[in-house]
DNA sequence: TTTATAGTTGGAATCGATTCCAAAAATGAA
DNA sequence: TTCATTTTTGGAATCGATTCCAACTATAAA
């Protein structure tokens, strides 16, 4: 398969210079005579020499790699955006990513951490697949670590999370801007659950209503489970209210699927009869739904990018939580009642 | 942050043994007296010593890492299964994965390959996000490379692809087994397109009909574009046929969404009036659809796993194409007409 | 007790780069 | 031409593990 690998010694001998000079050429050290540099470069090219990263790392004590531990990539399609963002940023910095899926198993996570420490990664990004609290072993303190889409109770590591409140508020405001006043919300989990998503989005919903002087009707706030089936049922109930909503804010695109279904089964059309806004911007759903669903996007790619940039920015040492806005993706599921 | 890193010398000194002995303990060499082994292990534990992977790699000339170049992870949710499978297999072999998303850009791909060669990866997995032909630069021949979900025209590398024909055939047979005779198929792309998916699935459809002695009705084979909107239209047309189908095979779960929608808009119910089978097992869709969609799964996780296993199996040297079956995932969108 | 054998152990050499210091070469000033 | 200074160069030492050989110790057999 591969012919013999050349070393810096081979190049030095072939170019009739010292190894130091070759190294200098490799590293673009300015203290090399132009003629010499050329000569060396030619030999390098001719032999197709590839420097050994391993040897370099050993000597310089820099691995140029960053560990990326993901909580459970296979469960959600969001993982890819996170990885893509991190990946892009890493490339810009000339680093490579060592990715491992710890599959939500704390033991696997520790093992992953261990093999990364062995490889002397320059830092670690720990990414959860949905906004949640995590507890990390003390070992994570032995290397710079940043958290994505999660946080530790004691705020021991810098973290990045989506701005659920702003997302919920903007979603609701979009509906209000289109002159909706009876706006239902289907939450994605119990308000009492430990996950910040439902709580934050609901808070945003309340704030938006309040600022618009719309009274909150408790009949219009329902709690689902994130899936379409329950949302279907809830939507049916919502529409059989004496004063049904003109718009529904589904805290999950998956739930919006159920809502679409329920509305259509009632012979109602979207958005003529009822407007819908989702949350998550899960492309497969939002784009394929008929009509395409307006929804709030989760800033996964941005958070992934940020995590690497932040990790490599030596000047940063705080462990604060960075909050990323969720942008509105307008499609066609909202009708302007004022028009 | 991290206190000083200990080296094997520190351990040797502290345990009052030679470095060779420490190394032997580290590598579970049987030729060490039990008492000595214990003594050394204690020191290792006490100091929290982590061997340097870099130094080890340099000496043993084994990087214990495998490069994973993905074509464009962000475009499809399937990437995660591929990564998960590869990841699992790599862990079993004690290897780590260096993952880069080359985003469909040949230049990025070459750069990724180069940084991986520098890091002396033991092999490379090149994964496409849907079954297709790819052309790789000659440089990929300098390191063992295996292809996933794609192939080169000249079959220069071993590759793994899903068995589209079997998938199409099994899907159709499932419908036939449930006593359907008028089975429509909505293809996911032109039969003339270079992508093997539509062609293979269609071939499987034909074979299944033939074996069951059902005559193929050209009116029942339509070509979509993979998305729901067009499938919606096609389904409407299909159902207005003089003799409409009792079952529809959608070559994409996304298209099944459109078909569901169309059927419901006609007041038809699934599966009582029309049975549906999809393809891809895109969980977000198949599980959230109402009723849940029976569909053929793409063997991404298996292919990912295989790619690593095959790469590390030194005995293998062939470059044949390995075909992976697409299993049927039964849910609730098919009615048994015989019952 | 001596000798042969098997079991342990220490440590120099090694992997392939970078780094640093001293030496050599080039340049400029007098 | 000489001397001082700057630029360029060669190569030994280094990073932290593994490997291998020689030396040492323990055990068994004679």
Q: What is the CATH number of the domain that holds A35?
A: 1.10.260.40
The reply to whether A334 falls in a domain is: no
Residues A222 and A283 in one domain: yes
pLDDT the model gives residue A4: 63
- Closest alpha carbon to A164 in A139, A193, A144, A142: A193
Q: Do the chains contact at B77 and A118, CB–CB below 8 Å? A: no
Mutating which of B54, B156, B257 best tests the A interface, going by the most A Cβ atoms within 10 A? B54
B53 touches strand D (CB under 7 A): no
Per residue in A306-330, pLDDT (tens digit) is 999 999 986 666 778 999 999 999 9
Q: Given a cut of 60, is residue A232 above it in pLDDT?
A: yes
Does any domain span residue A3? no
User: Which residues in chain B come in under a pLDDT of 50?
Assistant: 1-3
Closest Cα of chain B to A282: distance in Å?
9
Q: Does residue A310 sit within a domain?
A: yes
In A, which residues are within 8 Å of B103 by CB distance? 84
Which domain range does residue A95 map to? 65-162+300-324
Is the Cβ–Cβ distance between B305 and B86 less than 8 Å? yes
The answer to whether the C-beta of B325 is closer than 7 A to strand D is: no
Hey, of B5, B141, B253, B284, which one would you mutate to test binding to chain A, going by the most A CBs within 10 A of its CB?
B284
A120 contact residues in B (CB cutoff 8 A): 52-54
Q: Looking at the 3D structure of chain B, how many domains does it have?
A: 3
Q: Do B98 and B12 share a domain, yes or no?
A: no
Partner-chain contact A289 B144, CB within 8 Å? no
pLDDT band at A175 (very low <50, low <70, confident <90, very high): very high
Find the CB nearest B290 among A2, A228, A288: A228
A74 contact to strand C (CB, 7 A limit): no
Candidate from A51, A119, A228 with C-beta closest to B118: A51
CA B23 – CA B5 distance, rounded (Å): 17
pLDDT of residue A164 exceeding 60, the answer is: yes
Are A74 and A35 part of one and the same domain?
Answer: no
Residues in A touching B142 (Cβ below 8 Å): 1-2
Rg value, chain B, Cα: 27
The answer to whether position B282 is within a domain reads yes
Q: What local confidence, expressed as pLDDT, does residue A1 receive?
A: 37
CB A180 within 8 A of CB A275: yes
Check if residue A138 sits with its Cβ under 7 angstroms from strand D: no
Query: A32: helix, coil or strand?
Result: coil
B142 to chain A: nearest residue by CA? Answer: A2
Per-residue pLDDT, B235: 98
User: What is the mean pLDDT of the segment spanning A182-204?
Assistant: 95
Of B58, B103, B120, the CB nearest to A58: B58
Same domain? For B198 and B248 the reply is: yes
Proximity of residue A24 CB to strand D below 7 A: yes
Least confident segment among A35-44, A136-145, B31-40, B44-53: A136-145
3-state secondary structure of B294: strand
Residue B225 sits in a domain of what CATH number? 3.40.50.2300
Which residues 10-49 of chain B have a CB under 7 Å from nucleic chain C? 16-21, 23-24, 30-37
A35 Cβ contacts chain D strand, under 7 Å: yes
Question: What is the Cα–Cα distance from B14 to B176, expressed in whole angstroms?
Answer: 74
The end-to-end CA distance of chain A, in Å, is: 69
Interface test with B, best of A76, A144, A278, A288 (most B CBs within 10 A): A288
- CA of A285: which chain B residue's CA is closest? B285
A141 and A71 part of one domain: yes
**Is residue B188 located within the same domain as residue B173?**
yes
A186 falls in which pLDDT band (50, 70, 90)? very high
- pLDDT for res B242: 97
DSSP notation for A179-241: T--SEEEEESS-TTSS-HHHHHHHHHHHHHHHHTTPPP-GGGEEE--SSHHHHHHHHHHHHTS
Residue A131 and residue A150 in one domain: yes
Q: What is the pLDDT of residue A71?
A: 87
**B180 and B74 co-located in one domain:** no
A102 falls within a domain: yes
Helix or strand run (H / E) with residue B168: helix B164-177
Nearest to B239 by CA among B217, B216, B219, B257: B219
- Give percent above pLDDT 70 in chain A: 97
| B260 and B281 both lie in a single domain | yes
CA distances from B236 to B187, B261, B265, B268 (A): 15, 10, 9, 11
CA pair distance B140, A310, nearest whole angstrom:
34
Q: Which residue intervals of chain A are DSSP H helices?
A: 8-15, 19-26, 34-47, 53-60, 79-92, 106-118, 164-177, 196-211, 228-239, 253-265, 283-288, 300-312
Strand ranges for chain B from DSSP E = 65-70, 96-101, 124-133, 145-151, 159-162, 183-187, 221-223, 247-250, 275-280, 294-297, 321-324, 328-329
CA distance B273 to chain A (A): 15
B187 and B276 assigned to the same domain = yes
A27 and A85 share one domain: no
**Average pLDDT in chain A:** 93
The integer distance in angstroms from the CA atom of A51 to the C1' atom of C14 is 18
Residues of B in contact with A114 (CB under 8 A): 50
Asked, for residue A60, whether it belongs to a domain, the answer is: no
Q: Is residue B331 part of a domain?
A: no
Query: Across the interface, which of A87, A101, A284 has its CB nearest the CB of B101?
Result: A87
Which of A76, A97, A301 is closest, CB to CB, to B99?
A97
Q: Please indicate, yes or no, whether residues A200 and A217 belong to a single structural domain of this protein.
A: yes
Mark yes or no for CB contact B118/A57 under 8 Å.
no
pLDDT tens digits for range A211-221: 999 999 999 99
Q: Please indicate, yes or no, if residue B249 is contained in any of the structural domains.
A: yes
């Amino acid at each position: 398969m591969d012919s013999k690998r050349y070393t810096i010694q081979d190049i030095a001998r072939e170019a009739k210079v010292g190894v130091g000079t070759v190294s200098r050429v490799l590293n673009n050290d300015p203290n090399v005579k132009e003629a010499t540099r050329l000569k060396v470069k030619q030999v390098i090219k001719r032999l197709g020499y590839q420097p050994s990263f391993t040897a370099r790392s050993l000597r310089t004590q820099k691995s140029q790699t960053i560990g990326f531990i993901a909580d459970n990539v296979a469960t959600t399609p969001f993982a890819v955006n996170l990885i893509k963002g991190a990946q892009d940023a890493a490339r810009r910095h000339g680093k490579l990513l060592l990715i491992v899926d710890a599959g939500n198993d704390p033991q696997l996570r520790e093992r992953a951490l261990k093999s990364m420490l062995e490889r002397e990664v320059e830092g670690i990004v720990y990414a959860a697949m949905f906004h949640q609290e995590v507890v990390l072993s003390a070992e994570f303190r032995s290397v710079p670590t940043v958290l994505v889409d999660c946080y530790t109770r004691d705020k021991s590591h810098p973290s990045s999370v989506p701005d659920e409140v702003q997302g919920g508020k903007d979603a609701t405001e979009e509906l209000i801007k289109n002159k909706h006043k009876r706006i239902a919300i289907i939450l994605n989990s119990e308000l009492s659950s430990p996950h910040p998503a439902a709580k934050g989005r609901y808070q945003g919903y309340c704030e938006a209503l309040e600022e618009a002087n719309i009274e909150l009707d408790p009949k219009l706030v329902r709690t689902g489970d994130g899936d379409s089936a329950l949302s279907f049922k809830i939507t049916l109930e919502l529409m059989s209210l004496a004063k049904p909503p003109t718009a529904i804010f589904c805290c999950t695109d998956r739930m919006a699927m159920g809502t679409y279904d329920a509305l259509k089964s009632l012979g109602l059309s979207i958005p003529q009869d009822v407007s819908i806004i989702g949350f998550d911007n899960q492309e497969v759903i939002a784009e394929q739904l008929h009509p395409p669903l307006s929804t709030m996007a989760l800033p996964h790619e941005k958070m992934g990018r940020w995590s690497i940039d932040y990790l490599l920015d030596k000047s940063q040492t705080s462990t604060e939580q960075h909050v990323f806005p969720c942008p509105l993706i307008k499609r066609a599921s909202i009708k302007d009642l004022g028009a």
